[in-house]
Structure 1
Amino acid sequence: MSSGIKIQSAMEASAAAESPSAAASAAESRRVAGAAERSLAARKAAAVRAAAAQGLVTDVSPVVGFVDLAGIAASQAELKRAFEVTSAPVLHTFAAKASSLVPVLRLFAEAGMGCEAASPGELAQALAAGFSPEHIVLDSPTKTRSELRDALRLGVAVNADNFAELERIHALLAELGLSEAIRSRAALGLRINPQVGAGSIEAMSTASARSKFGVPLRDEGGRQAVLAAFDRYPWLSRLHVHVGSQGCPLELIAAGVRQVYELAEQINASAATRRVISIDIGGGLPVNFADDRVSPTFAEYVETLRRTVPGLFDGRYALVTEFGRALSAKNGFTLARVEYAKQVADRRVALTHAGAQVATRTVFMPESWPLRVSPHAPDGEPKHGPACEQDIAGPCCFAGDLVAAGRELARLDEGDLVVLHDTGGYFFTATWTYNSLPRPAVYGFEVAADGSVRFSLLRRRQTLEELVAEAGGDPASVYALTSEHPLA
């Protein structure tokens, strides 16, 4: 987060030094960013009040997710504007793993974006959302032969993770009779690990020396092995890189992209014909979880790339991006009811229905994935009054199920509501099934000019019948067991 702020300051200082008009442009960027931040906060506040008034948080559905549809559209537009510096085609794909809800994916498809899938399930969701196969990219370090066969038949772009996978693809192309036609059907690429180092969160860094992803470029013989692969497989036309996201500064991400760009230049220089025609630079930008500011921005990222890899934007290479969290995190929040509140030793504990089952990373890695928590009254209005130190606990049956610990907040009582901010990425779809807690409902919302809020159901709450059936049981037995379905 701090790296994004520093980069912005450096950009503004550079712009001011260049010309008065550049300084004015930087000032305009700050003004626009400030307006967007205020608009985001206002829409969110309106949605919380409306959700309370319309009874979306209930005894049966005590935790609910919300997606800001206008925010999704604005983030898409900002991404596209940032990459207008190149004349070459750019395919922006949304990383399905960040929000694998078909209605959310459909928003990106309708905006002309593509989809990055990392499993058969995500590929099926992408197709159900309306993405055309040529706008889908399949990434995964463990693709099976059947996954690859299906992707090749569909004409989906595939980024191979390793040399053994390249050989599988080669055999499948011959089996399917696609060896000659594949260059016009879909881009086939090879993922490279540039080994530029890890960010501050090791688990989120995919370009460290021992990362499981891709071909390690700096290992002995690594570069020559990639050159040999392009000699052996005439259908290879793309290089792929993804350095990481949260905890990775822009400079580290750009350094990884530079390594792969230079590799593309070397491959093309050594070949009789131009072999690498596109570069998939992956996604991953750190998200600012401290407040409503978007930092770093897509424009700041592109500016960093232009300084580090200027040749990337000269129009010779088509580009692919794979952003997920950066497009969705700020555009969602979680609303949960306080079921009980009690005093434990010197601290108050608010027991809510939002815990490790919806905020798994935050509960287990709170330093790396902190969430802002806001207290609200039952009517959805912000709760004010004397602050006290409180833990915000979840419903899971272990002591560490805390989404926030020792926070100074207005006193929370039974029936109050808490907002978990910035949960639009991963929190709605990377749910944990511990304690067999039902997956919560997720609503999209739009705020009209008059302040009224319209909700649309993106995913209904998982029913107990579905939960029992998923566990191998008879869903009919639920009717005799729960007050959700009282006996006649």
Structure 2
Amino acid sequence: MSEKKIPFTEAEIREIIKTYPTPFHIYDERAIVDNARKFLAAFAWAPGFKEYFAVKATPNPHILKLLQAEGIGADCSSMAELLLCEKIGISGEEIVFSANDTPYEEFAKAMEMGALINLDDITMIDYMERRGPLPAAVCMRYNPGPLLKEGNALIGMPEEAKYGMTRGQIFTAIDMLRRKGVARFGLHTMVVSNELAEANLLHTAGMMFDLAVEVQDKLGVNIEFIDFGGGIGIPYRPEDKDVDCAVLSAGIRRSFEEIMVPHGLGEVRLAFECGRFVTGPYGYLVMTAIHHKDIWKHYIGTDASMADLMRPGMYGAYHHLTVMGKETAPADHVYDVTGSLCENCDKFAVDRKLPQIDEGDILVVHDTGAHGHAMGFNYNGKLRSAELLLRKDGAVTQIRRAETMDDLFATLDFTSFRK
């Protein structure tokens, strides 16, 4: 069981709302930093261990700087994410660039910044070489396909996923790159997302260790680093169990010592690209109940929408919901909690047992610290909300302002309609 905590009281959040109207996302600085430190400490045994925060999860410079101060790098997958890192001083091999279907301009920018390049497709070798030099260090993303018997709801079965190379392509790619002068190699995979079972995560580690040993045996190439990707989940539902970092780390260590060390690979660096696991539980979407509707079901309308949190509408994902000031009240009403988007999937909760909700009540959606604001959009002309940071001392800083209509219309040309 996971306890769904909120780092502010009803009185405190109503005071914040006086300055920053709902809806907004707010992140708990102290909890994010403490969690990052706990994760890094769990893998202190691993030589040169590195966590590259998945920028796509929460692409905000204030969050990235918090994590950079803890020694965490950045996992980028687009030009915008590379530029965001550049603007705040993250560069070199503090970045791993893991993109798919990638335009050359993005490869070129990543190489200019000195990032580690993680190739998703063997054809990218020729594609890059025809346009410029190859990077000095290359990582290959592995897709085990049907060799991995279990998939994951978010990524799916590996053979159905668009990511990565086959086992045969991994060996061919390394041999090709070695002949072209590349001297440093890494391996990468990510076959699950939001995985809560330590056993499945451990299986992935063992699979990658076996692959590294086989690369050494068949090609005489020593792998420099192994990146397990992200994929570590968080308990969105109160009945879910947290991933135990100590258990996960101990299991990976056993596998590392059993497989890698006897083959002289005990200095291979290990890495993760966790985004959700680092910040996910420590972000909250705060919104206000503004309408009731009673037809075939009972609806609570809010001033937020799917544009502020896409996951429930896109995936049918569960996010816990708290009615501020009614935390201990009986959950004796059943509601669909909705937004105003002209789509029937614009719902934060469906058939959810909650306390009686009155207009003006403050509702808090949990676990929006990753893939929350970042997945926002402007369909229906909806404006993306603000992001706030709850500081360790209790102060609140706006780290992204809410969009305005001027922002929304900035790329449109109205000049031909003016007299």
Q: Could you state the TM-score of these two structures normalised by the residue count of structure 2?
A: 0.89
Q: For the structure 1 residues 354 and 107, does the alpha-carbon distance in structure 2 shift closer, same or farther, using more than 3 Å as the test?
A: same
Instruction: Find the counterpart in structure 1 of residue 15 from structure 2.
Output: 53
User: 1:216 Cα shift?
Assistant: 1.5
Instruction: Find the counterpart in structure 2 of residue 363 from structure 1.
Output: 313
1:329 equivalenced with 2:280 (yes/no): yes
Instruction: Find the counterpart in structure 2 of residue 241 from structure 1.
Output: 189
Q: For the structure 1 residues 124 and 473, does the alpha-carbon distance in structure 2 shift closer, same or farther, using more than 3 Å as the test?
A: farther
Percent of matched pairs sharing the same residue: 21
User: 1:392 Cα shift?
Assistant: 0.6
User: 1:304 Cα shift?
Assistant: 3.2
Residue identity matched to 2:117: V
Q: For the structure 1 residues 385 and 89, does the alpha-carbon distance in structure 2 shift closer, same or farther, using more than 3 Å as the test?
A: closer
Which has the larger Rg?
1
User: 1:361 Cα shift?
Assistant: 1.9
Q: For the structure 1 residues 50 and 370, does the alpha-carbon distance in structure 2 shift closer, same or farther, using more than 3 Å as the test?
A: same
1:44 equivalenced with 2:44 (yes/no): no
Instruction: Find the counterpart in structure 2 of residue 372 from structure 1.
Output: 320
1:76 equivalenced with 2:36 (yes/no): yes
The 3-state SS of whatever aligns with 2:90 is coil
1:156 to 110, 115, 133: 115
1:460 equivalenced with 2:401 (yes/no): yes
Instruction: Find the counterpart in structure 1 of residue 151 from structure 2.
Output: 199
Q: Distance in 2 between the 1:300 and 1:140 partners?
A: 30
The 3-state SS of whatever aligns with 1:73 is helix
1:118 equivalenced with 2:77 (yes/no): yes
1:281 to 228, 244, 252: 228
1:344 to 283, 286, 295: 295
Q: Distance in 1 between the 2:362 and 2:19 partners?
A: 9
State the Cα deviation string for residues 31-68 of structure 1 (Å, max 9, x = none). xxx9xx6xx82x5233x53121233476xx43111000
Q: Distance in 2 between the 1:216 and 1:288 partners?
A: 32
User: 1:344 Cα shift?
Assistant: 2.2
The 3-state SS of whatever aligns with 1:80 is helix
Q: Could you state the TM-score of these two structures normalised by the residue count of structure 1?
A: 0.77
Residue identity matched to 1:329: G
State the Cα deviation string for residues 310-339 of structure 1 (Å, max 9, x = none). 445773201221000000111111110011
Contact 1:393–1:402 (CA<8 Å) still a contact in 2? Answer: yes
Q: Distance in 2 between the 1:292 and 1:437 partners?
A: 33
Q: For the structure 1 residues 133 and 227, does the alpha-carbon distance in structure 2 shift closer, same or farther, using more than 3 Å as the test?
A: closer
1:253 equivalenced with 2:201 (yes/no): yes
Contact 2:196–2:241 (CA<8 Å) still a contact in 1? Answer: no
User: 1:80 Cα shift?
Assistant: 0.6
Residue identity matched to 1:423: T
1:108 to 48, 61, 67: 67
Instruction: Find the counterpart in structure 2 of residue 262 from structure 1.
Output: 210
2:365 to 420, 441, 456: 420
Q: Distance in 1 between the 2:328 and 2:215 partners?
A: 60
User: 1:230 Cα shift?
Assistant: 5.0
1:318 to 269, 275, 278: 269
Instruction: Name stretches of at least 5 consecutive residues in structure 2 with no aligned partner.
Output: none
Q: For the structure 1 residues 224 and 189, does the alpha-carbon distance in structure 2 shift closer, same or farther, using more than 3 Å as the test?
A: closer
Q: For the structure 1 residues 297 and 215, does the alpha-carbon distance in structure 2 shift closer, same or farther, using more than 3 Å as the test?
A: same
2:340 to 395, 400, 406: 395
CA RMSD of aligned residues (A): 2.7
Q: For the structure 1 residues 228 and 277, does the alpha-carbon distance in structure 2 shift closer, same or farther, using more than 3 Å as the test?
A: same
1:64 to 7, 24, 34: 24
Q: Distance in 1 between the 2:412 and 2:7 partners?
A: 36
User: 1:418 Cα shift?
Assistant: 0.6
Q: Distance in 1 between the 2:378 and 2:342 partners?
A: 12
Q: For the structure 1 residues 118 and 148, does the alpha-carbon distance in structure 2 shift closer, same or farther, using more than 3 Å as the test?
A: same
- Tell me the number of residue pairs that the alignment of Structure 1 and Structure 2 aligns: 409
Q: For the structure 1 residues 328 and 138, does the alpha-carbon distance in structure 2 shift closer, same or farther, using more than 3 Å as the test?
A: same
1:384 equivalenced with 2:329 (yes/no): yes
Q: Distance in 2 between the 1:152 and 1:225 partners?
A: 23
Contact 1:97–1:426 (CA<8 Å) still a contact in 2? Answer: yes
Higher helix content, 1 or 2: 1
Instruction: Find the counterpart in structure 2 of residue 299 from structure 1.
Output: 246
The 3-state SS of whatever aligns with 1:112 is coil
Q: Distance in 1 between the 2:119 and 2:38 partners?
A: 30
Instruction: Name stretches of at least 5 consecutive residues in structure 1 with no aligned partner.
Output: 6-33, 478-488
Q: Distance in 2 between the 1:331 and 1:232 partners?
A: 47
User: 1:260 Cα shift?
Assistant: 2.5
Q: Distance in 2 between the 1:470 and 1:339 partners?
A: 31
Contact 1:389–1:408 (CA<8 Å) still a contact in 2? Answer: yes
Q: Distance in 1 between the 2:260 and 2:369 partners?
A: 31
Of the structure 1 ranges 97-106 and 263-272, higher mean CA displacement relative to structure 2 is found in: 263-272
Instruction: Find the counterpart in structure 1 of residue 383 from structure 2.
Output: 438
Q: Distance in 2 between the 1:411 and 1:383 partners?
A: 12
Q: For the structure 1 residues 388 and 321, does the alpha-carbon distance in structure 2 shift closer, same or farther, using more than 3 Å as the test?
A: same
State the Cα deviation string for residues 410-439 of structure 1 (Å, max 9, x = none). 111111111101111111111122212111
Q: Distance in 2 between the 1:416 and 1:383 partners?
A: 15
Q: Distance in 2 between the 1:162 and 1:462 partners?
A: 37
